[in-house]
Structure 1
Amino acid sequence: MATIKRTRRFLGVAGALVLAMGSAHAETKPLEIGYVDGWSDSVATTHVAAEVIKEKLGYAVNLKAIATGIMWQSVANGSLDAMLSAWLPVTHGEYWAKYKDKVVDYGPNFKDAKIGLIVPEYVKANSIDDLKTDTSFKQKIVGIDAGSGVMIKTEQAIKDYDLTGYKLTASSGAGMIAELTRAENKKDSVVVTGWVPHWMFAKWKLKFLEDPKGVFGAAETVNSIGSTQLATKAPEVAEFLKKFQWQSKDEIGEVMLAIQDGAKPEAAAKDWVAKHPERVKEWTGK
């Protein structure tokens, strides 16, 4: 009888410990993570990270779509715990210079991010210089929003490469993709302004035109940035962010393309995490 009582007492204590461990993070305030809604890579990366944090690390997460400048400011003042969309060292260099002493850089989640001029793999042109003699492009470059970084650099490229007669047409991300889609369907020549990571590289075989003059700059990284309080508030999450990194544009492209094809970001992230347990284990050990 005494043995039974001791066994029950042991099981009761063990059960209480399990419950306590399971609810340890339940009492913690949800993590607030920001992303830029118009950036397909920001949406995909942030939702996958959030799914891993919730499913494998046991933290509640609130995601907030927010403008770039406010996102940086919010992480710096602690109203956001993290963001995974910092383009460094150039594109967000001004924000980094302003806030670097108030945030923690957990390193790249994507390497070899870049901007430039993009063409289908089936065209003969391989360099921006080739545009001067290749008449199949009809002296037209399809752009995105006027004033964006890649548009400013393209205007400079037209001057530096002496692309006399070439016209850069301002459009939008959707407008650029529409032109690219039409060209791909007909196997016509087209040159567009673009960047990686982007889902279009998962949909079509594309290439950057070589830029020997370096107008568009070197490759950048997309980094995960946390508040100074994150490591104390959620140490497991801080460790995860140090390890969380996409292997290639094709890997993140799988998620971006699913979202582009109509999947909800949360569903696309959940599906990707379920299909790639080995990658998740590399990041979390679980």
Structure 2
Amino acid sequence: MKKQALNRRIRTTSLALAAGVGLTAAGAAQAQDTVNLAYVEWASEVASTNVVRAVLEQAGYEVDMTSLSAAAMWQALSTGDADAIVAAWLPTTHADYLERVGDDVEDLGVNLDGTKLGLVVPEYTDVDSIEDLNDNADLFNGEIIGIDPGAGLMGLTEDVIEEYGLDLRLRSGSDATMVGALSSAIDNEEDIVVTSWTPHWMFARWDLKYLEDPQEVYGGAEQIHTVVRAGFGDDNPGAYAILEAFEWTPEQMGEVMLMNQEDGSDPYENAQQWVEDNQDVVEEWLSAAQ
């Protein structure tokens, strides 16, 4: 990624919080150490990236967060403009991105297990399978409400439209616009079909269901991985160890995502609060750098 592109990024640098973690000299952060985290504006990744930021700050690091499209996020990681992401959906959604960057990144493994992708409708909608969408296209105004056009989920949904021969149009937008359309439809007891994934806070707010995917175009359950730029472990072994140890559950992520939906709440402040309230979990991640 060209450096001028990063001039547009959202910088959210913060001085380290008081740690008292007792890291060894090999893993301790120096004042000049800054970890650059890239992420996509999905509810799940906003939650996880802010939590990781708060944890790294507790360990003594300064942290920059950069919001990008999925494609730009992977590009930034491969060129070294970003140090790490905790937002890699594998083995399916981000498979193409991972294949393109090849040896320029390192996969540190799973940080969350038990994810799912697919088309989602309100529970009251009288459609249960993707195969039934064409016969009920009028219920959905002939469209599927999607998210940002660069997302892997959107590419998979285009495959779904082709494989099932759907006559519905895929409308791109963002996580926020998709949720807004879903909320409006439910308030008016209207039918709607959206692209979505688990974990997502909207499943805790509304009664929703995935449409069956008999051809399994969306694949099975996925995992979210932590991926760093090549050489990051040599440059910053302490932060590398913490990122490698970071792993939590969909329930824990869901707690943070629900906090983020409160009016006027700040995702970073919510992450700090969650970290403060879950020090037993956090200390397991931090201890990896000792």
Provide TM-score, normalisation by structure 1: 0.75
Distance 1:105 1:19, change over 3 A: closer
| Amino acid in structure 2 at the alignment position of 1:202 | A
| Amino acid in structure 2 at the alignment position of 1:214 | E
Query: Contact 1:136/1:189 (CA < 8 Å) preserved in 2?
Result: no
Question: In the TM superposition, what are the counterparts of 1:44-59 in structure 2 within 5 Å?
Answer: 44-55=47-58, 57-59=59-61
The offset of 1:26, in angstroms, is 5.4
Gaps of 5+ in 1: 1-17
| Amino acid in structure 1 at the alignment position of 2:121 | V
Q: Does 1:257 align with 2:267?
A: no
Gaps of 5+ in 2: 1-20
Distance 1:111 1:137, change over 3 A: farther
Question: In the TM superposition, what are the counterparts of 1:1-286 in structure 2 within 5 Å?
Answer: 25=28, 27-55=30-58, 57-131=59-133, 137=139, 140-144=142-146, 147-148=149-150, 149-158=152-161, 160-161=163-164, 166-168=167-169, 170-173=171-174, 174-248=176-250, 250-261=251-262, 262-285=264-287
Q: Deviations over 1:223-278 (max 9, x none)?
A: 11123333234333322222312311x43233233334332221111111122233
The offset of 1:19, in angstroms, is 11
Distance 1:232 1:181, change over 3 A: same
Distance 1:146 1:258, change over 3 A: closer
Distance 1:21 1:171, change over 3 A: closer
Query: Contact 2:40/2:70 (CA < 8 Å) preserved in 1?
Result: no
Query: Contact 2:149/2:172 (CA < 8 Å) preserved in 1?
Result: no
Partner SS, residue 89 of structure 2:
strand
The offset of 1:221, in angstroms, is 2.3
| C-alpha RMSD of the superposition | 3.4
How many corresponding residue pairs? Answer: 264
Query: Contact 1:117/1:193 (CA < 8 Å) preserved in 2?
Result: yes
| Amino acid in structure 2 at the alignment position of 1:32 | V
1-structure distance, mates of 2:265, 2:128: 34
Partner SS, residue 46 of structure 1:
helix
Partner SS, residue 257 of structure 2:
helix
Distance 1:126 1:89, change over 3 A: same
The offset of 1:128, in angstroms, is 2.2
2-structure distance, mates of 1:109, 1:20: 22
Distance 1:21 1:108, change over 3 A: closer
1-structure distance, mates of 2:96, 2:67: 21
| Percentage of pairs with the same residue | 34
Provide TM-score, normalisation by structure 2: 0.74
